[in-house]
Protein backbone atom coordinates (compact mmCIF):
# COMPACT_ATOMS: atom_id res chain seq x y z
CA UNK A 1 0.00 0.00 0.00
CA UNK A 2 1.53 3.28 -1.14
CA UNK A 3 0.22 5.31 1.80
CA UNK A 4 1.52 2.89 4.31
CA UNK A 5 4.92 2.79 2.68
CA UNK A 6 5.10 6.54 2.67
CA UNK A 7 4.08 6.76 6.30
CA UNK A 8 6.79 4.34 7.23
CA UNK A 9 9.67 6.06 5.50
CA UNK A 10 12.62 5.87 7.85
CA UNK A 11 12.91 9.28 9.35
CA UNK A 12 16.36 9.82 10.58
CA UNK A 13 18.42 6.66 10.73
CA UNK A 14 20.49 8.06 7.93
CA UNK A 15 20.85 11.35 9.69
CA UNK A 16 21.97 9.60 12.85
CA UNK A 17 24.63 7.84 10.86
CA UNK A 18 25.60 10.88 8.85
CA UNK A 19 26.62 12.79 11.95
CA UNK A 20 29.66 11.74 13.91
CA UNK A 21 33.32 12.42 13.40
CA UNK A 22 35.19 15.04 15.38
CA UNK A 23 37.15 14.36 18.51
CA UNK A 24 35.86 14.86 22.03
CA UNK A 25 36.30 13.55 25.51
CA UNK A 26 34.01 10.72 24.51
CA UNK A 27 36.36 9.45 21.86
CA UNK A 28 38.21 7.08 24.15
CA UNK A 29 34.97 5.68 25.41
CA UNK A 30 33.61 5.26 21.92
CA UNK A 31 36.77 3.45 20.91
CA UNK A 32 36.46 1.19 23.92
CA UNK A 33 32.88 0.27 23.09
CA UNK A 34 32.16 -3.02 21.50
CA UNK A 35 29.55 -3.54 18.85
CA UNK A 36 26.05 -3.00 20.13
CA UNK A 37 24.50 -6.13 18.67
CA UNK A 38 21.72 -6.61 16.16
CA UNK A 39 18.26 -5.17 15.85
CA UNK A 40 15.01 -6.60 17.09
CA UNK A 41 12.72 -8.23 14.61
CA UNK A 42 10.60 -10.47 16.76
CA UNK A 43 9.35 -9.83 20.24
CA UNK A 44 11.70 -12.02 22.17
CA UNK A 45 14.90 -11.56 20.24
CA UNK A 46 17.51 -9.66 22.16
CA UNK A 47 17.22 -5.92 22.07
CA UNK A 48 19.82 -4.01 20.11
CA UNK A 49 21.49 -2.82 23.24
CA UNK A 50 24.95 -3.97 24.03
CA UNK A 51 24.16 -5.11 27.57
CA UNK A 52 24.44 -3.74 31.04
CA UNK A 53 28.12 -2.77 30.79
CA UNK A 54 27.48 -0.25 28.02
CA UNK A 55 27.12 2.72 30.34
CA UNK A 56 30.05 1.87 32.63
CA UNK A 57 31.75 5.12 31.60
CA UNK A 58 28.94 6.99 33.36
CA UNK A 59 28.97 4.95 36.54
CA UNK A 60 28.14 1.53 37.85
CA UNK A 61 24.86 -0.23 37.17
CA UNK A 62 21.72 1.88 37.36
CA UNK A 63 23.74 4.98 38.26
CA UNK A 64 25.60 4.66 34.98
CA UNK A 65 22.39 4.27 33.02
CA UNK A 66 20.81 7.25 34.79
CA UNK A 67 23.89 9.40 34.19
CA UNK A 68 23.89 8.42 30.53
CA UNK A 69 20.23 9.49 30.32
CA UNK A 70 21.04 12.65 32.29
CA UNK A 71 23.75 13.57 29.80
CA UNK A 72 21.28 13.22 26.93
CA UNK A 73 18.61 15.20 28.78
CA UNK A 74 21.12 17.99 29.48
CA UNK A 75 21.82 18.17 25.76
CA UNK A 76 18.13 18.23 24.88
CA UNK A 77 17.45 20.95 27.46
CA UNK A 78 20.35 23.10 26.22
CA UNK A 79 19.26 22.56 22.63
CA UNK A 80 15.69 23.72 23.21
CA UNK A 81 16.89 26.70 25.27
CA UNK A 82 19.15 27.77 22.40
CA UNK A 83 16.33 27.26 19.90
CA UNK A 84 13.97 29.46 21.94
CA UNK A 85 16.66 32.18 22.07
CA UNK A 86 17.38 31.91 18.35
CA UNK A 87 14.17 33.71 17.42
CA UNK A 88 13.60 31.27 14.55
CA UNK A 89 10.18 30.25 15.82
CA UNK A 90 6.94 32.01 16.62
CA UNK A 91 3.43 31.14 17.72
CA UNK A 92 2.36 27.54 18.15
CA UNK A 93 5.72 26.06 17.12
CA UNK A 94 7.54 28.23 19.63
CA UNK A 95 5.10 27.16 22.35
CA UNK A 96 5.72 23.51 21.51
CA UNK A 97 9.48 24.04 21.66
CA UNK A 98 9.18 25.86 24.99
CA UNK A 99 7.03 23.08 26.43
CA UNK A 100 9.35 20.32 25.24
CA UNK A 101 12.29 22.25 26.69
CA UNK A 102 10.54 22.53 30.05
CA UNK A 103 9.80 18.82 30.03
CA UNK A 104 13.42 17.95 29.26
CA UNK A 105 14.48 20.22 32.14
CA UNK A 106 12.13 18.27 34.40
CA UNK A 107 13.78 15.06 33.21
CA UNK A 108 17.17 16.53 34.15
CA UNK A 109 15.90 17.32 37.64
CA UNK A 110 14.33 13.90 38.13
CA UNK A 111 17.39 12.03 36.88
CA UNK A 112 19.73 14.13 39.01
CA UNK A 113 17.63 13.36 42.06
CA UNK A 114 17.51 9.66 41.18
CA UNK A 115 21.30 9.43 40.82
CA UNK A 116 21.74 11.08 44.22
CA UNK A 117 19.15 8.80 45.75
CA UNK A 118 21.18 5.80 44.59
CA UNK A 119 24.26 7.31 46.23
CA UNK A 120 25.84 8.24 42.90
CA UNK A 121 27.34 11.44 41.60
CA UNK A 122 25.26 13.13 38.87
CA UNK A 123 27.05 13.52 35.56
CA UNK A 124 28.18 17.09 34.81
CA UNK A 125 26.33 19.15 32.25
CA UNK A 126 28.17 18.80 28.96
CA UNK A 127 29.16 21.93 27.05
CA UNK A 128 27.38 21.93 23.74
CA UNK A 129 26.78 24.04 20.66
CA UNK A 130 24.06 23.43 18.13
CA UNK A 131 23.77 24.63 14.55
CA UNK A 132 20.76 26.95 14.40
CA UNK A 133 20.78 28.01 10.78
CA UNK A 134 17.14 27.82 9.80
CA UNK A 135 13.81 26.79 11.26
CA UNK A 136 13.70 23.74 9.01
CA UNK A 137 17.21 22.60 9.93
CA UNK A 138 16.42 23.09 13.63
CA UNK A 139 13.22 21.04 13.38
CA UNK A 140 15.12 18.30 11.61
CA UNK A 141 17.76 18.28 14.32
CA UNK A 142 15.04 18.27 16.99
CA UNK A 143 13.43 15.29 15.28
CA UNK A 144 16.75 13.46 15.19
CA UNK A 145 17.44 14.24 18.84
CA UNK A 146 13.99 13.15 20.07
CA UNK A 147 13.86 9.94 18.04
CA UNK A 148 17.36 9.13 19.22
CA UNK A 149 16.48 9.95 22.82
CA UNK A 150 13.49 7.62 22.75
CA UNK A 151 15.63 4.88 21.21
CA UNK A 152 18.32 5.43 23.85
CA UNK A 153 15.87 4.88 26.72
CA UNK A 154 14.46 1.84 24.97
CA UNK A 155 17.97 0.45 24.60
CA UNK A 156 18.68 0.77 28.31
CA UNK A 157 15.34 -0.23 29.85
CA UNK A 158 16.14 -3.96 29.94
CA UNK A 159 19.47 -3.25 31.65
CA UNK A 160 17.92 -1.40 34.58
CA UNK A 161 17.95 -3.37 37.81
CA UNK A 162 15.80 -1.34 40.17
CA UNK A 163 12.06 -1.46 39.47
CA UNK A 164 11.70 2.11 40.72
CA UNK A 165 14.39 3.35 38.35
CA UNK A 166 12.78 1.36 35.55
CA UNK A 167 9.38 2.88 36.31
CA UNK A 168 10.91 6.37 36.11
CA UNK A 169 12.79 5.59 32.91
CA UNK A 170 9.62 4.23 31.30
CA UNK A 171 7.69 7.33 32.34
CA UNK A 172 10.29 9.45 30.55
CA UNK A 173 10.73 7.10 27.58
CA UNK A 174 7.15 7.39 26.39
CA UNK A 175 7.27 11.19 26.67
CA UNK A 176 10.33 11.21 24.42
CA UNK A 177 8.29 9.05 22.06
CA UNK A 178 5.49 11.63 22.13
CA UNK A 179 7.96 14.45 21.40
CA UNK A 180 9.43 12.45 18.53
CA UNK A 181 6.00 11.89 17.00
CA UNK A 182 5.17 15.59 17.17
CA UNK A 183 8.42 16.59 15.48
CA UNK A 184 8.00 13.90 12.84
CA UNK A 185 4.53 15.29 12.20
CA UNK A 186 5.89 18.85 11.86
CA UNK A 187 8.50 17.48 9.44
CA UNK A 188 5.88 15.62 7.41
CA UNK A 189 7.47 12.31 8.28
CA UNK A 190 6.05 9.09 9.69
CA UNK A 191 5.17 9.17 13.37
CA UNK A 192 6.42 5.59 13.63
CA UNK A 193 9.55 5.39 11.48
CA UNK A 194 10.40 1.90 12.79
CA UNK A 195 6.91 0.56 12.15
CA UNK A 196 4.75 -1.03 14.86
CA UNK A 197 7.76 -1.79 17.09
CA UNK A 198 10.17 0.98 18.03
CA UNK A 199 13.81 0.02 17.79
CA UNK A 200 16.36 0.59 20.54
CA UNK A 201 19.69 2.35 20.02
CA UNK A 202 22.87 1.28 21.75
CA UNK A 203 25.08 3.67 23.70
CA UNK A 204 27.77 3.81 21.04
CA UNK A 205 25.34 4.85 18.32
CA UNK A 206 23.73 7.46 20.54
CA UNK A 207 26.99 9.02 21.70
CA UNK A 208 28.37 9.10 18.19
CA UNK A 209 25.29 11.02 17.10
CA UNK A 210 25.60 13.68 19.80
CA UNK A 211 29.38 13.95 19.59
CA UNK A 212 29.39 16.70 16.93
CA UNK A 213 27.51 19.01 19.32
CA UNK A 214 29.89 18.65 22.24
CA UNK A 215 32.56 21.31 22.68
CA UNK A 216 35.72 21.30 24.76
Partner 1 sequence: MSAEHAEQQQTRSEVLAKGALAVGSIYGATMVGPYVRRALAASGGGDVGILNFALTLEYLEAKFYAEAKSRAKATGELKKLVDLLAEDEQQHVDALTATIKQLGGKPVMEPKFKFDYSGTAGFLKLAQTFEDTGVSAYNGAGPMIKSKDVLAAAGGIVQVEARHAAAIRLQNKEEPAPAAFDSPLKEKQVLKAVEPFIV
**Contact positions toward partner 1, by CB under 8 A?**
1, 3-4, 7, 40, 42-47, 49, 52, 99-100, 102-104, 106-107, 110, 150, 153-154, 157-159, 161-164, 166-168, 170-175, 177-182, 184-185, 190-192, 194-200
Q: Cα separation of 89 and 78, whole Å?
A: 16
- Are residues 89 and 177 in contact, defined by beta-carbon separation less than 8 angstroms? no
Q: Cα separation of 159 and 65, whole Å?
A: 8
Exposed/middle/buried for 212, CB within 10 Å: 0-12, 13-18, 19+?
A: middle
Q: What does the CA dihedral 11, 9, 190, 41 come to, rounded to 10 degrees? A: -90
Minimum CB distance to partner 1, residue 167 (Å): 5
Choice between 53 and 212, CB closer to partner 1: 53
Minimum CB distance to partner 1, residue 210 (Å): 19
Minimum CB distance to partner 1, residue 105 (Å): 8
Choice between 30 and 192, CB closer to partner 1: 192
- Are residues 31 and 212 in contact, defined by beta-carbon separation less than 8 angstroms? no
Minimum CB distance to partner 1, residue 43 (Å): 4
- Are residues 118 and 66 in contact, defined by beta-carbon separation less than 8 angstroms? yes
Beta strands in 138-190 (DSSP E): none
Choice between 129 and 197, CB closer to partner 1: 197
Choice between 26 and 64, CB closer to partner 1: 64
Choice between 99 and 127, CB closer to partner 1: 99
Minimum CB distance to partner 1, residue 60 (Å): 12
Q: Cα separation of 208 and 105, whole Å?
A: 23
Amino acid sequence: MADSKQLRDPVSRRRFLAVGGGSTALAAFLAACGDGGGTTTTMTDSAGSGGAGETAQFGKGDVGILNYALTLEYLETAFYADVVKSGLFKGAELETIRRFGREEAEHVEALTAAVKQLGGKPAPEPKAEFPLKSAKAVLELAGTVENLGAAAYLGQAPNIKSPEVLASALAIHSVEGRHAAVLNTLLGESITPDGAFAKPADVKTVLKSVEPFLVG
